[in-house]
């Protein structure tokens, strides 16, 4: 599983990234967690509000910080 956190490095992006790390750890799953902070890449992905979260290329969250419980639900599919 590839999880991408898209954002230019603001505090909310950092909070989302940390929550993703916690959710992955608590679920005990193997995932590649990637920060995407290149503005061109973020625009090309069609993201209008950051932070955003993509799982295996699918955009799941945009413009807010999902908490750990919500992230675990998203990652469980």
Partner 1 sequence: MASRPECACGDTSALAGGKKRIIFPCAGTANVGLISNAAALQLAEEGYGVATCIALLGSGDPGLKKRIADADEVVIIDGCPMTCGAKIANAQGVIPAQHIVITGLGIDKVYEKNVTEDEVELVVSAAWEGKGRT
Q: What's the min distance (Å) between Cβ of 58 and partner 1?
A: 16
Q: Report residue 46 as tokens.
A: 């069609």
Cα separation, 39 vs 19, whole angstroms: 22
Q: What's the min distance (Å) between Cβ of 62 and partner 1?
A: 6
Annotated catalytic residue within 10, 11, 43, 49: 10
Residues at the contact surface with partner 1, assessed by CB under 8 A: 7-8, 10-13, 15, 18-19, 22, 39, 42-44, 47-51, 62-65, 67-70
Of 2 and 12, which CB lies nearer to partner 1 in the complex structure?
12
Of 1 and 39, which CB lies nearer to partner 1 in the complex structure?
39
CA 66, 50, 56, 17 torsion-angle sign: negative
């Amino acid at each position: 599983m590839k999880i991408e956190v898209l954002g230019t490095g603001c505090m909310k992006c950092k909070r989302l990234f940390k929550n993703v790390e916690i959710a992955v750890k608590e679920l005990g799953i193997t995932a590649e967690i990637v920060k995407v902070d290149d503005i061109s890449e973020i625009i090309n992905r069609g993201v209008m509000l950051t932070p955003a979260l993509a799982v295996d290329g699918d955009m799941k969250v945009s413009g807010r910080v999902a908490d750990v419980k919500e992230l675990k639900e998203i990652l469980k599919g």
